[in-house]
Chain A
Amino acid sequence: NAGVTQTPKFQVLKTGQSMTLQCAQDMNHEYMSWYRQDPGMGLRLIHYSVGAGITDQGEVPNGYNVSRSTTEDFPLRLLSAAPSQTSVYFCASAPGLAGETQYFGPGTRLLVL
């Protein structure tokens, strides 16, 4: 099993550009989530999903959209990138619906100029 995979590893955007961060898992997990990690802030939940077709907001959802059309994939979209979205983004998945025992992907480092 590859576990949780994320692409790209690193991305540079200009302010106002859009992009999609990809996340996939091959463990048949129902729960998936997106976090951003900023220095001194820990990890903050952006959006999460408890199954295909079901998504909900986390702590910091503004500026981000998600969808969950399959169990395996959970892409994160930035519609109009801002410098404040410069961060490291982690995707995670968990075997249960509650979000316990989350396994993280390797992360995407995003720089918005």
Chain B
Amino acid sequence: GENVEQHPSTLSVQEGDSAVIKCTYSDSASNYFPWYKQELGKRPQLIIDIRSNVGEKKDQRIAVTLNKTAKHFSLHITETQPEDSAVYFCALLKGSNYKLTFGKGTLLTVNP
């Protein structure tokens, strides 16, 4: 199946700093790129997504950028807060095969 590499695996920042998580992929036919947040012991929750015809999307303190040429997409969180601490997963979908493929996750810790 489609492979997606996610980095870093852990990220620790001070409250108020920015955090960036990057994912790279290989199949140029991938066309949907969501990001999920999973708090400890909870279900994954969709926080933002982007489609291949868009380069950037923002929702308050969260943004996602997509570079189709380089085949990578990134999650940007600005003005981080302790409640942003969680595991974040990138994922991608190739529209023709209906299968969502996840990265291995990034544990983000925001220190007060």
How many angstroms from the CA of A64 to the CA of B55 in the assembled complex? Answer: 38
**Neighbour of A98 across the interface among B42, B44, B98, B105, CB < 8 A:** B98
The listed residue (A43, A48, A59) touching B1 by CB distance below 8 A is A59
User: Interface segment, A13-21, A68-76, A78-86, A100-108?
Assistant: A100-108
Does B20 make an interface contact (CB < 8 A)?
no
Q: Which of B1, B49, B102 contacts A100 (CB 8 A)?
A: B49
Contact B102 A98 (CB under 8 A): no
Report Cα–Cα, A63/B9, bound state, in Å. 29
Task: List B residues 65-112 near A (Cβ within 8 Å).
Answer: 89, 91, 93, 95, 98-105
* Contact flag A59-B99 (CB < 8 Å), given A104-B44, A107-B43: yes
Determine if A105 and B43 form an interchain contact, defined as CB atoms under 8 angstroms apart: yes
User: What are 5 A-B interface contacts by the 8 Å CB criterion?
Assistant: A33-B100, A43-B44, A48-B98, A56-B98, A104-B43
Q: Is the interface of B mostly helix, strand, loop or mixed?
A: strand
With A42-B89, A101-B49, A106-B43 known as contacts, the answer to whether A59 contacts B101 (CB < 8 A) is yes
Q: How many A-B residue pairs have CB under 8 A?
A: 57
B46 within 8 A of A: yes
Which residues of chain A come closer than 8 Å to B99, judged between CB atoms?
45, 48, 58-59, 99
A53 at interface, CB cutoff 8 A: no
A33 / chain B contacts, CB cutoff of 8 Å: 100
Q: Are B101 and A45 within 8 A (Cβ)?
A: yes
Q: Tell me the bound Cα distance from A59 to B91 in angstroms.
A: 14
Nearest A-chain residue to B9, judged by Cβ: A40
Do A104 and B93 touch (CB < 8 A)? no
